[in-house]
Amino acid sequence: MDADQSTISGWGGLPHPGREVFSEDLVRLSKDAVLSRGLGRAYGDSALPPPGTLDVATTILADRILAFDEQSGILRAEAGLDLHQINWLFLERGWFTPVTPGTQYVTLGGMVAADVHGKNHHVEGCFGAHVTALLMRVADGRILECSAQHEPELFWGTIGGMGLTGHILEVEFQMKRIPSPWIQGESMRVPDIEEFVRLLKESGDAWPFTMGWIDCVSTGASLGRGILYRGRWAESGSRAEAPQSKRRLSVPINLPNFTLNKLSVKLFNESIYRTHIPSKKAGLQHPEKFFYPLDKILHWNRIYGKRGFTQYQCVLPNSAGQGAARRFLEFLTKQGGASSFLCVIKDCGAEGQGMLSFPMPGISIALDIAVDANTQSLVNLLNGEVIEMGGRIYLAKDAFTRPEDFRLMEPRLDQFLELRRKWDPDQKFRSAQSVRMLGDRA
């Protein structure tokens, strides 16, 4: 093992000892594996092997659709099928995934394991709410089907369980009928954070898809200014032709670290805000452009250079009061801000049934942070604020949260650990994240 220097990483690009093992046959692949991995879009260490283990079972070759019922819209597929293929196949047939994250390069297994949320969380909840059954390999070696009716504990533990309850081999879920394959979208400049929160909540009644980009460099009166995006599926007949899938650029190599500094970030944020002219736009949009603006450049994460980056995503509950988002952003600014290209704000609806699922009613804020010597202490401080407000962080993004902080955020943790003790008493299933944060054996 010493001779083998291979490393893998999460989307944040921090290298970690590991190796991906591929097979079309998930039954075989999952047999002795400690962790499954999809397309590696989790930013932090949740799709990385625990220390002392090299191999992770990468599912992406297992991408067969096993059933699709045109009447009910129930789709069943192997866990490595990715959303890009699903969109490409089903958009023009009048179906769409009930919930999509901000990238389509995710697998069904990853969508279940992180219980992903989208711009429609306030109406549809997380992806897990639409899953009707899972085929799993559990720790004692058995392969079994679970659902809300059959082994419901295992089912809801697996939804949002970050791969720690077993390997997902097949996913069955309910697709959504759409009236047309186009999005009727709107975007508008928003002057500050109060207005942003107000507009997000207000838009939620009439718009199934909402989210915002905030300029997290601006301070004072324009703190939290940005652009709000909202949309809904266009009525049928809005446009004759079906949207085409576009070819993608790729950021070819890691850019040198100096491309990203305080100045370039400020300019970037400033220009996005300023160039949004007129201040309100509306029209028919390509769904890829609306849902996946970042996918236009594959491997954009390389823009952060070799040192890598992390994303800090938290939800601030409604119970923390109106001013919570401002307080959080002010706190962030006080810490020197984050050199962040991207800061996204979303409205979260009701908490789902996934045992460790991230969203709760409130406002979610996500920011990219280029990793440096101060990152750990910055995350600790932000976590302190979040804990005080009664919020929590998203495991699929995390690489720095300390176990003691996670425990304070997560009253549901004991229930999850209990479930794992029952189904996996020897802790067969582990990840770098579970060793770091849940105290699993290395």
Partner 1 sequence: MKVAFLGASKGMGRALARRMAARGDELCLLGRDLEDQRRTALDLSARAGSSREIPVHHCDLEQPEGFAQALKHCEESLAGLDCVVVTAGVYDAQENLEADTDWARRLMTINFSNTVAFCEEARKRLLARGGGTLCVFSSVAGERGRKPVVIYGASKAGLSAYLEGLDHKFRAAGLRTVCIKPGFVKTGMTAGLKPPPFAGEPDQVAGVVLRAIDKGTPVAYAPGIWALVMLAIRSLPRFVMRKIGF
Ligand X SMILES: Cc1cc2nc3c(=O)[nH]c(=O)nc-3n(C[C@H](O)[C@H](O)[C@H](O)COP(=O)(O)OP(=O)(O)OC[C@H]3O[C@@H](n4cnc5c(N)ncnc54)[C@H](O)[C@@H]3O)c2cc1C
Encoded one letter per residue, x for contact with ligand X by CB under 6 A and - for no contact, window 9-28 reads --x-----------------
The nearest distance, CB 71 to ligand X, in angstroms, is: 28
Residue 113 binding: pick among ligand X, partner 1, none (C-beta 5-8 Å cut-off by kind)? ligand X
| 109 near ligand X, rule: CB under 6 A | yes
Q: Nearest CA to 393 among 340, 384, 294? A: 384
| 59 near ligand X, rule: CB under 6 A | yes
Stretch that binds ligand X, among 42-50, 200-208, 376-384, 400-408 (CB under 6 A): 42-50
Helix pair 324-334, 193-206: axis angle to 10 deg: 140
For ligand X, the binding residue among 39, 138, 159, 228 (CB under 6 A) is 39
Number of residues near partner 1 (by CB under 8 A): 15
Stretch that binds ligand X, among 65-73, 100-108, 146-154, 232-240 (CB under 6 A): 100-108
| Neighbour tally for 283: CB within 10 Å | 11
Which residues within the stretch 145-164 sit at the binding site for ligand X (CB under 6 A)? 162-163
| 64 near partner 1, rule: CB under 8 A | yes
The nearest distance, CB 3 to partner 1, in angstroms, is: 15
Residue 68 binding: pick among ligand X, partner 1, none (C-beta 5-8 Å cut-off by kind)? partner 1
The nearest distance, CB 144 to ligand X, in angstroms, is: 14
| 24 near partner 1, rule: CB under 8 A | yes
In this structure, the strands spanning 297-298 and 249-250 are parallel
Which residues within the stretch 263-302 sit at the binding site for ligand X (CB under 6 A)? 294
- Measured on CA atoms in the order 175, 181, 184, 190, is the torsion positive or negative? positive
The nearest distance, CB 335 to ligand X, in angstroms, is: 24
Residue 307 backbone phi and psi in degrees, to 5: -70, -15
Cβ neighbours for 131, distance < 8 A, ≥ 6 positions apart? 112, 159, 171, 172, 173
The nearest distance, CB 35 to ligand X, in angstroms, is: 5
Which of 24/424 has CB closer to partner 1?
Answer: 24
| 117 near ligand X, rule: CB under 6 A | yes
Give the C-alpha separation, 61 to 79, whole Å.
9
For partner 1, the binding residue among 4, 15, 52, 66 (CB under 8 A) is 66
**Residue 422, Cα to own-chain centre: how many angstroms?**
28
| 267 near partner 1, rule: CB under 8 A | no
Which of 63/195 has CB closer to partner 1?
Answer: 63
- Measured on CA atoms in the order 76, 79, 80, 84, is the torsion positive or negative? positive
Give the C-alpha separation, 39 to 61, whole Å.
11
Place of tokens 């879009």: 41
For ligand X, the binding residue among 77, 86, 113, 183 (CB under 6 A) is 113
For ligand X, the binding residue among 12, 13, 18, 38 (CB under 6 A) is 38
| 29 near ligand X, rule: CB under 6 A | no
| Neighbour tally for 145: CB within 10 Å | 14
The answer to whether 357 and 161 have CB atoms below 8 angstroms apart is: no
| 74 near partner 1, rule: CB under 8 A | no
Which of 42/360 has CB closer to ligand X?
Answer: 42
Query: Which residues of this protein are in contact with partner 1, per CB under 8 A?
Result: 20-25, 61, 64-68, 70, 89, 93
Residues near ligand X, by CB under 6 A: 11, 35-42, 46-47, 59, 79, 101-103, 106-107, 109-110, 113-114, 116-118, 162-163, 167-168, 294, 396, 431
